[in-house]
Structure 1
């Protein structure tokens, strides 16, 4: 059986009837024989005595049930009550307190009547007023605050008054002050249209300007013409809504969210004005559930590693961070400005051995100081770097689900965006070359001239920042769950990461570093030719191609294509995919392609394009030169033909004789050419500054050379006999 108690509100429902009656129990007798109750929905109700068993039986038989009764007229917090209302409450309480505190006698109508007459005698309060106080006190649950004035019930709160002849609103302070008009439903519709057309726009007009345009468009009686200009004619001020009325109805009916979207755009509203009710941590079950990646241009200028007097500009900072623990898992500092190459380097760093990575920059750490070398389950990024077909292998092969944030929605990556702000506050702003202010005043020193750090030195600073953040940064704002609190886990990224690894496993992915890098590199197709593996105009070779005689096969057969991946920043190597991407072969640049060594593929493309350009540029000159050559050749041929034809016409030699005399003619021509072709060195020889042509000059004799010449000398008679014998042999062969 349910226990009845004082102030309990009970709802009775009669069988086969929709009639309901709600009562409040005011007092229960100690022996539970009877009780007093009062009807809640009756303005003339008085306490009534009823049997306790009636209510108990009604609850058992489900003829009545307990209900919650909330009186909106009773304030909950005293500090919200106006002082004048408290004065009125206390005055009412002093009137009835001697009556209501005498229970249960106050519920007897005879005793209550005598008490009310006594109160009337020394307070001069009307009897109906005292009864109203008593009824309000009892129906409100016997609380003192029920006697507060119910001013909220005055004037039909929340309902617009019906316009009449009388002007609504406050009285005017000055006689000639415009009073405006009564705003009816038709006028309100015009004001709404004016706000929609002239205020809720991307022009972001002030409300005063929107009010003016509303009067011009909807309240003008006509136009007057001044030259070529039409000027709206408005009614007198007393027949127009005032700006105060326009502002009142604007504020009263304003849809703030719609106004902000209309004036600033939906994207800007989502970024700067939408309610922030969620938490990024709720989207992540544990370490590796979701990483966020983003890039920014660091607010610092750097100098060259090779020429420190050269300023090379501002570096690009990529950060990959775990949403659950805020543990920074990947970092890239370079000059590859936000692009797939920079994102690729940062993602590759997430799987890299951090001990070896830090050692490359002269920083010695233990594995516990930076232990992440994994891929996440999901990766949230910008639309730029990870949009398109480039991250397809990241999704299909490496099993990482990529989510791109909408445009202008940096708040979707709020965790990594916050890291960029913290980097500037903690480290970057204090180093030389840092940007102090976005805009310099005239006469101030150019902060770019203060640059002192190289890219390597700035990377060392960033690594130290990551180590501090991961191992020491205490996030006071981090919402630890009850299990973290029970395990005494501090809100430090390292401890959160460790706790998540133990208690929220199964999200991190571990793959070989080489496989990850290969899948992040851009892919392409190379052609196996007899000159090597050709890719983007550059030729490569590898041990596999030599062992399997690819180049021989390509020369005797046809060329074929192979799948490769490459680093756009270096032409020195490409990587041949084998076994469906599970293995790879390194292909190196051939020796004859030395001019492409240590170049970027973009530079190679530029070089080849320049060569093609020069080739196209010289095609016309080459053609003109060939035309000149052909003309010169034709002229010589024509002249030679003319001379030969004249000689033939004057000769009696037959065609047969001409053909048979070729060898003899050749030998004779050779003998005639030899004196002309012989080297004449004596003409240019000088002795002690005098020419060798001088008859008085005696040339020194080289004895050894003279002896050799005498041994090789052939007398003219013998030489002539040899020539005749040679010609005789030629004649026999003819």
Structure 2
């Protein structure tokens, strides 16, 4: 293969010019003598001279002679014999070109075994490697690593996804944050949160985000959307942030992937109600969401500097233990991300050549964004909800009691469950739907601080753990053993009594001594003195149930009690 003249060295270029000068002197039909003289001057064989002459006369440029070496220029490998080629191609198709991605050595060993079975000479592993290099790299990557990897490496992307004005298109996506958070009470690790984030395609401004420990859902999308649409001044003030985050407004179109949460009926109807279009990416094409995907990569790169990070992959993590190093709660991570986003707005963005906040300020000055008229109503429309019973003490949700004076006229008159909407970010209040309108109900104890749903769940876990630690296992097992002994004793007594009853003749009743005297006991047994009346009475009932009573062993009283006689050494009862 010829080398480009700009890549060739001075020595190679001079050699190519010398070869071209010799070839130019040859006539159109050179004589054998002229051919021999030219081959001797170039120190090449006759066949090489004719090959170089053909290349030079076809192109008429000296550059085609750069890098040319004497001998036949091999353009690949020698073809396999037909039978061997069929065997090798079958092994490559069925074994090598699969998603299991076997190594070249495994393929070669398989081909050697097949060749021995068919009495063929196997190729060397080097020749097999050269043969594999002749296959199309994109097709082989698609078979061995999948469509996504092949598209990422070989698919051409000539176009670009853009927007002409702010909030024309907003992209929303989820990702698992590469850091472990801790609960706010015991500071124990509780897992990795999910980040839902929205970005304006035109100005690259981050409009809003939402952190959750739950899987992506309609709730996370709705709360991210409300954060993006409603002004952030109060939100920043609640977290002690004095910096500005000016982006807010109703988007014209939301560009999302094909997750189930984006196809939920509640999400679609909420967007339709507020005149927000939904655009879905083609399935399996994350490149269509490149703006939000790039933003997520930027945010995760910053997160990798936090204690408790998981880094990008396991190999980068090394011996680092994210669980032991985790220190940040959900609320602290949320505040940290807000500060990181504000810094991102003020930094130079290479995609637009300026800071996003500057692009936003200039764009909205000429085209103000569409604002929501009722921010609280918009928030309520997208909040999650539960059905609860309106009790005399109020509404009970998430182990918290809520009360409003507006509940009083409905107490005892509301037979069905009512709809209760709540904000997982602030459980200080709920919204209860009564007679078609929503009534705000705060907690019964207004002095309590505002908490999130995740903080409330963490507190419940701590309480349950403390309750488990207070369990006395020894007392529990002793109680179970005593209960089992009581059940076994009752079962034995009941079985014996039923067996004795089975031996009575039809119409025969228990003797008075064995009749039930009370509801709690069938007979009373106590020590007594020997008497002849009792002896004769006992011997008169030897059949049926009474045959188990030995003569002189018991004495029955008219009141229903039975006493046992003490036995003497001779075996007869003592007086």
**Which TM class, normalised by the smaller chain length?**
0.5 to 0.7
Does residue 491 in structure 1 map to residue 354 in structure 2?
yes
Q: 1:248 to 1:459 in 2, by over 3 A?
A: closer
Q: Which residue of structure 2 aligns with residue 88 of structure 1? A: 19
Structure-to-structure mapping, 1:652-731, within 5 angstroms:
none
Deviation readout 1:421-479 (Å, 9 max, x if unpaired): 433444x34444545796699997856555554444433332221111112x2123x2x
Which residue, out of 357, 382, 387, partners 1:520? 382
Equivalent-residue separation in structure 1 for 2:413 and 2:379 (angstroms): 31
Q: Which residue of structure 2 aligns with residue 576 of structure 1? A: 433
Equivalent-residue separation in structure 1 for 2:80 and 2:443 (angstroms): 88
Q: 1:290 to 1:545 in 2, by over 3 A?
A: same
Q: Which residue of structure 2 aligns with residue 224 of structure 1? A: none
**8 A Cα contact 2:2 2:65, kept in partner:** no
SS of aligned partner of 2:381: helix
Q: 1:262 to 1:452 in 2, by over 3 A?
A: closer
Equivalent-residue separation in structure 2 for 1:415 and 1:89 (angstroms): 54
**8 A Cα contact 2:210 2:220, kept in partner:** yes
Q: Which residue of structure 2 aligns with residue 275 of structure 1? A: 155
Q: Which residue of structure 1 aligns with residue 272 of structure 2? A: 396
Superposed displacement of residue 210, structure 1:
2.2
Q: Which residue of structure 1 aligns with residue 241 of structure 2? A: 363
Does residue 465 in structure 1 map to residue 396 in structure 2?
no
**8 A Cα contact 1:291 1:320, kept in partner:** yes
RMSD between aligned alpha carbons?
A: 5.7
**8 A Cα contact 2:308 2:321, kept in partner:** no
Q: 1:421 to 1:208 in 2, by over 3 A?
A: same
Greater Rg by CA: 1
SS of aligned partner of 1:259: helix
Structure-to-structure mapping, 1:281-300, within 5 angstroms:
281-300=160-179
**8 A Cα contact 1:293 1:380, kept in partner:** yes
Superposed displacement of residue 213, structure 1:
2.5
Q: Which residue of structure 1 aligns with residue 439 of structure 2? A: 586
TM-score by length of 2: 0.58
Q: Which residue of structure 1 aligns with residue 349 of structure 2? A: 475
Superposed displacement of residue 525, structure 1:
5.9
Q: 1:158 to 1:233 in 2, by over 3 A?
A: closer
Structure 1 residue runs of 5 or longer lacking an equivalent are 1-72, 97-115, 161-167, 170-181, 221-231, 481-489, 611-620, 625-632, 640-734
Structure-to-structure mapping, 1:195-594, within 5 angstroms:
195-217=92-114, 219=115, 232=117, 234-235=119-120, 237=121, 240-252=122-134, 254-270=135-151, 272-275=152-155, 277-278=157-158, 281-302=160-181, 304-306=183-185, 310=188, 314-333=192-211, 335-336=213-214, 338-366=216-244, 369-381=245-257, 383=259, 385-402=261-278, 411-426=287-302, 428-434=303-309, 448-471=323-346, 473-476=347-350, 478=351, 490-501=353-364, 510=372, 512-523=374-385, 559=415, 565-567=421-423, 570=427, 573-576=430-433, 584-586=437-439, 588=441
**8 A Cα contact 1:474 1:492, kept in partner:** yes
Equivalent-residue separation in structure 2 for 1:305 and 1:534 (angstroms): 23
Equivalent-residue separation in structure 2 for 1:147 and 1:410 (angstroms): 44
Superposed displacement of residue 365, structure 1:
3.1
**8 A Cα contact 1:318 1:333, kept in partner:** yes
Equivalent-residue separation in structure 2 for 1:447 and 1:208 (angstroms): 38
Deviation readout 1:325-345 (Å, 9 max, x if unpaired): 221110234545644433333
Q: 1:437 to 1:146 in 2, by over 3 A?
A: closer
Equivalent-residue separation in structure 1 for 2:423 and 2:103 (angstroms): 55
Q: 1:261 to 1:429 in 2, by over 3 A?
A: closer
**8 A Cα contact 1:383 1:407, kept in partner:** no
Q: Which residue of structure 1 aligns with residue 90 of structure 2? A: 193
Deviation readout 1:632-672 (Å, 9 max, x if unpaired): x9967xx9xxxxxxxxxxxxxxxxxxxxxxxxxxxxxxxxx
**8 A Cα contact 2:161 2:288, kept in partner:** no
SS of aligned partner of 1:391: helix
Equivalent-residue separation in structure 2 for 1:264 and 1:347 (angstroms): 36
Answer 1 or 2: higher relative contact order, Cα 8 Å, separation at least 6: 2
Equivalent-residue separation in structure 1 for 2:6 and 2:386 (angstroms): 75
The number of residue pairs the alignment matches comes to 439
Equivalent-residue separation in structure 1 for 2:38 and 2:444 (angstroms): 118
**8 A Cα contact 1:216 1:234, kept in partner:** no
**8 A Cα contact 1:375 1:509, kept in partner:** no
Equivalent-residue separation in structure 1 for 2:97 and 2:124 (angstroms): 20
**8 A Cα contact 1:325 1:497, kept in partner:** yes
Equivalent-residue separation in structure 2 for 1:339 and 1:577 (angstroms): 27
Q: 1:407 to 1:213 in 2, by over 3 A?
A: farther
Equivalent-residue separation in structure 2 for 1:460 and 1:534 (angstroms): 30
Equivalent-residue separation in structure 2 for 1:242 and 1:417 (angstroms): 46
